[in-house]
Amino acid sequence: MRGPELSDAELVARMCARDEGALRTLYERHAGWMSVRLLRRCADRDVVTDTLQDTFVAAWNAAARFRGEGEVASWLWGIALHRLISRVRTRGPQGARLGPALLSPQLSDASAEDDVLLAIEYSDVGSALARISPELRVVLQATVLDGLTTREAARLLGIPQGTVKTRLVRARASMREELA
Amino acid sequence: MTTNGEAWHADDQALRGLVQGTTGPVAAASLEAHLMRCETCRAQLNTLALDDSLERTWLLVRATVESPEPTGVERLLQACGMSEETGRLLAAVPAMRGAWLLGVAVVMAFAGLAAAFSGNLGIGLFLLMAPLAPVMGVAAAFGGDADPAQEIVVTAPYSAGRLLLLRATAVLLTSAPIAMLVGLALPGPGWLTIAWLTPAAAGIGLTLALAPLTGLTNAAASIGVVWSTLTLSATRAHDPLVVVDSIGQLTCLTLVVIAAIAIVSKSRILELPRRQKQ
């Protein structure tokens, strides 16, 4: 696909053979967008920087465990999300500020011209999601969109696991109501 | 068509909104989902998100990746609650390495074998070797050329006394169990298993006490010669146990005390210049 350039999976294979250049290339390809996504979930740059470092060190150590199923990008992102949770957790409650993806206070801060590409914004689901309260949406973001368990979501958001569960139930009910 | 990541790409404005955090939740979630499947949009986002902190983070990643992995011994010592630095200093003691342990084990095994076939000679050999093994271990642990960690040790911000105790303990801990096991298998009296400990302590003490005068290796060698002469002549006189009887033990204990006093007073002198800053 990319001519003589190595694919992500080939880079990971080389990392198993302790090829530091491969790690460097992988970092160049993935650190940027990962830091953007992490910053959307945690507004503290220090925490995001630490998470990014943890992620690539973990990827280096766990390269042998990547079996080539699925995308390297998803594999790295999975590591990053879990590293972020443990970093936020070690900071303690109120230790790390949440990012816009988990905090968006305005119901719809996206202007129409931003989102030609995003028809979903104006679909039934999109408008329903935009109308439910931010507290509920955050829980949906963490569990449904980020694929975290309620336990992981609780750690990331700094709220009890029971609260995540009840909010998730309420969020589902609200969505159902909106879509009915 | 829209899901294969090739036909459809996010424009710069949308990606910039993602970087700045101004994109709405639904649009952002949809963009993020697309990013996971689209190499082109990831690359585009990378160019928009470029900043210095990424390069600094890379340096940290590289530093972590390049630092040597702790050896098995180091991990074991850390599991026992030792700090990483102490663990590394200890693991670098020659007596902690496989070759040394193997050497001690083989020598002791020969002594054990010899004892099984010809009582006195074997016991004599055991009494010759058991105290000398830790003495040689200490000499190797502080002996400059023989110590691969010499430069670390010299520059470590440790008090000389603490380091000395730490490493001598490491030597004893690795050599003593082997000698004790062999001692148990010997035909002689039961107390033989631990009888060699006082001569060993005296040997280590004298080696360290004499080191400043003669050099560590010379001190260890002279003690080796003296001890060999004693045990061999006792063996020739058909009773090797004489060297570890009550008089022998008392003599050794006295030597330990003298050596300890010499070491403590000397290390105080050695450390005086460092403590003046207080």
- Statement: residue B203 has pLDDT above 90: no
Judgement on whether residues B182 and B264 belong to the same structural domain of the protein: yes
The residue in chain A having the minimum alpha-carbon distance to the alpha carbon of residue B60 is: A53
What the block records as the tokens of B36 is 């996971």
How high is the ipTM of this complex? 0.75
**Would residue B89 count as lying in a domain?**
no
- Statement: residue A116 has pLDDT above 60: no
Q: Is A98 helix (H, G, I), strand (E, B) or coil?
A: strand
**Whole-number Å distance between alpha carbons of B137 and B126:** 17
Residue of B9, B23, B26 for testing the chain A interface, max A β-carbons within 10 Å: B26
The residue in chain A having the minimum alpha-carbon distance to the alpha carbon of residue B66 is: A20
> What is the rounded average pLDDT of the residues A84-89?
83
Measured between beta carbons, the chain A residues lying within 8 angstroms of B66 are 20
**Would residue B78 count as lying in a domain?**
no
**Are B125 and B115 in contact, with CB atoms under 8 Å apart?**
yes
Q: Which residue has the higher pLDDT, A81 or A132?
A: A81
Judgement on whether residues B262 and B164 belong to the same structural domain of the protein: yes
Residue B225's alpha-carbon distances to B20, B132, B146, B171, in angstroms, are: 78, 10, 20, 20
- Statement: residue B2 has pLDDT above 50: no
Give the pLDDT score at B139.
74
Angle between helices B197-214 and B246-275 (to 10 degrees): 40
**Would residue B73 count as lying in a domain?**
no
CATH architecture designation of domain A104-180: Orthogonal Bundle (1.10)
**Would residue B6 count as lying in a domain?**
no
pLDDT digits (tens, 9 = 90+) for A26-52: 999 999 999 999 988 888 888 899 999
Give the pLDDT score at B3.
45
Judgement on whether residues B43 and B164 belong to the same structural domain of the protein: no
The residue in chain B having the minimum alpha-carbon distance to the alpha carbon of residue A108 is: B24
**Span of B26-35, B149-158, B253-262 with lowest mean pLDDT:** B149-158
Look up the domain containing B41 and give its range. 12-66
Judgement on whether residues B55 and B102 belong to the same structural domain of the protein: no
- Statement: residue A122 has pLDDT above 60: no
Would residue B238 be called left, alpha or beta, if left means φ above 0 and alpha means ψ between -120 and 50 degrees?
left
Rg (CA), chain A: 18
Domain count across chain B: 2
- List of residues 6+ apart from A151 with CB closer than 8 A: A161
Among all chains, which residue has been given the structure tokens 């990053």? A80
pLDDT-derived band at A113, boundaries 50, 70, 90? very low
Judgement on whether residues B115 and B229 belong to the same structural domain of the protein: yes
Range A51-87 burial, b when 16+ CB lie within 10 A, else e? bbbbbbbebbeebeebeeeeebbebbbebbbbbbbeb
What the block records as the tokens of B216 is 């560590």
Percent of chain A residues past pLDDT 70, beyond the cut: 78
The residue in chain A having the minimum alpha-carbon distance to the alpha carbon of residue B35 is: A33
> What is the rounded average pLDDT of the residues B100-124?
71
**Are B156 and B85 in contact, with CB atoms under 8 Å apart?**
yes
The closest of A62, A135, A113, A96 to B27, measured between CA atoms, is A113
Measured between beta carbons, the chain B residues lying within 8 angstroms of A35 are 49, 53-54
Give the pLDDT score at B266.
67
| Contact: A117, B57; criterion CB under 8 Å | no
| Contact: B21, A57; criterion CB under 8 Å | no
Give the pLDDT score at A96.
64
pLDDT-derived band at B6, boundaries 50, 70, 90? low
> What is the rounded average pLDDT of the residues B184-213?
76
The CA-based angle B270-B271-B275, given to 5 degrees, is 150
Judgement on whether residues B50 and B142 belong to the same structural domain of the protein: no
| Contact: A29, B42; criterion CB under 8 Å | yes
Q: Which residue has the higher pLDDT, A97 or A166?
A: A166
Judgement on whether residues B126 and B206 belong to the same structural domain of the protein: yes
C-beta atoms surrounding B55 within 10 Å: 11
| Contact: B65, A60; criterion CB under 8 Å | yes
What the block records as the tokens of A24 is 């460097």
**Average pLDDT, rounded, for chain A:** 79
pLDDT-derived band at A114, boundaries 50, 70, 90? very low
Beta-bridged to residue A42, according to DSSP, are: A98
From the list B36, B58, B60, the residue facing A73 with the nearest CB is: B36
**Would residue B184 count as lying in a domain?**
yes
| Most confident segment among A8-17, A91-100, A113-122, B227-236 | A8-17
Out of 1.10.1740.10, 1.10.10.10, 1.10.3720.10, 3.40.640.10, the CATH code matching A1-102 is 1.10.1740.10
Tell me the shortest Cα–Cα distance from A71 to chain B, in angstroms.
8
Judgement on whether residues B170 and B218 belong to the same structural domain of the protein: yes
Measured between beta carbons, the chain B residues lying within 8 angstroms of A101 are 25, 28-29
What the block records as the tokens of B205 is 């003490």
Give the pLDDT score at A32.
92
pLDDT-derived band at A166, boundaries 50, 70, 90? very high
pLDDT digits (tens, 9 = 90+) for B65-103: 887 766 677 777 777 766 776 777 677 666 666 666 677
| Contact: A109, B24; criterion CB under 8 Å | yes
Using the Cα atoms of residue B101, residue B103, residue B108 and residue B112 in order, give the sign of their dihedral.
positive
The residue in chain B having the minimum alpha-carbon distance to the alpha carbon of residue A2 is: B39
The residue in chain B having the minimum alpha-carbon distance to the alpha carbon of residue A22 is: B62
**Whole-number Å distance between alpha carbons of B167 and B91:** 9
Question: End-to-end CA distance of chain B, in Å?
Answer: 75
pTM: 0.55
> What is the rounded average pLDDT of the residues A65-69?
80
How many CB pairs lie under 8 A apart between chains A and B?
Answer: 128
From the list A31, A74, A115, the residue facing B57 with the nearest CB is: A31
**Would residue B228 count as lying in a domain?**
yes
Give me the half-sphere count of Cα atoms (radius 13 Å) on the Cβ side of residue B125.
Answer: 19
> What is the rounded average pLDDT of the residues A9-25?
90
Judgement on whether residues B141 and B242 belong to the same structural domain of the protein: yes
**Would residue B239 count as lying in a domain?**
yes
Tell me the shortest Cα–Cα distance from A111 to chain B, in angstroms.
8
- Statement: residue A104 has pLDDT above 50: no
**Span of A112-121, B109-118, B132-141, B202-211 with lowest mean pLDDT:** A112-121
**Would residue B238 count as lying in a domain?**
yes
> What is the rounded average pLDDT of the residues B216-231?
84
| Contact: B25, A104; criterion CB under 8 Å | yes
**Are A138 and A157 in contact, with CB atoms under 8 Å apart?**
yes
**Are B235 and B182 in contact, with CB atoms under 8 Å apart?**
no
Give the pLDDT score at B58.
92
Judgement on whether residues B32 and B147 belong to the same structural domain of the protein: no
Residue ranges of domains in chain A: 1-102, 104-180
Measured between beta carbons, the chain B residues lying within 8 angstroms of A37 are 32, 35
- Statement: residue A81 has pLDDT above 80: yes
What the block records as the tokens of B214 is 């003669």
Q: Which residue has the higher pLDDT, B194 or B35?
A: B35
Judgement on whether residues B153 and B252 belong to the same structural domain of the protein: yes
**Average pLDDT, rounded, for chain B:** 74
Residue of A26, A118, A124 for testing the chain B interface, max B β-carbons within 10 Å: A118
